[in-house]
Amino acid sequence: MSANRSIYIVGLTGGIASGKTEAAKYLEGLGAHCIDADAISRALTAQGAPLLAEIRNEFGDDVFDESGALNRAALGKIVFASPEKRRKLDAITHPTIQRAMLDEVEQSEQAGEKLVFLIVPLLYETGMDVLCDETWLVSTDPELQKERLMRRDGLSLEDAENRIQAQMPLDQKIARASVVIDNSRSIDRMYGELQGLYTQLNRRVSRME
């Protein structure tokens, strides 16, 4: 725990379709306070949100539907096929998402909470891991990850590979993670591992008070 704050921050991340979202939902069920970057991103790019003007200015009308809502599938196809386009989108969205997450951490600390999870798909890529006291990585077999992604999002093999390759290689994430949670097996085994880890974490945080 940082000397200048009283709340312990755990970063939870994982490759796309690794099971990170399911892990976060399970932790919430155990009572964990999770701040989800994806949920904040969706709110900040919902119809009428301020970021949409910047996105339209950069990517044009083709990534919006007739009602003015963001067509996330169309935008995703563009940015995952072009590192340059992806960097431009990140420059528009990431600073605002990060500020919103930090505001929520501060509010949680002021409310007297002692532990919070930051659920961030690109935790290491964006440098948000430096804000965390420790990081948990949900990992899965690369071929299983690809299969899950294609099935979940209805993607072609090429599109799935583009999305996976847009993220930091798994071995690099594993090397940086405090805890690696294997989701290549049954979901119940992951739940069991998470429950044990969360129980131990709460004990450690309680001793820090």
Phi, psi of 70 (to 5 degrees): -70, 130
pLDDT above 70 for 184: yes
For residues 127-152, give the mean pLDDT.
93
Q: Which residues contact 76 (CB under 8 A, 6 or more apart)?
A: 163
Tens-place pLDDT, residues 56-106:
999 999 999 999 899 998 999 899 889 999 999 999 999 999 999 999 999
C-alpha to C-alpha distances, 69 to 48, 91, 94, nearest whole angstrom? 8, 20, 20
Tokens describing residue 197: 């880890």
- Would you state the pLDDT for residue 57? 96
Q: For residue 2, name the pLDDT band (cuts at 50, 70, 90).
A: low
CB 62 within 8 A of CB 146: no
What are the residue boundaries of the structural domains of the chain, listed by start? 8-55+96-208
C-alpha to C-alpha distances, 79 to 76, 113, 146, 179, nearest whole angstrom? 5, 37, 18, 30
What's the CATH fold of domain 8-55+96-208?
Rossmann fold (3.40.50)
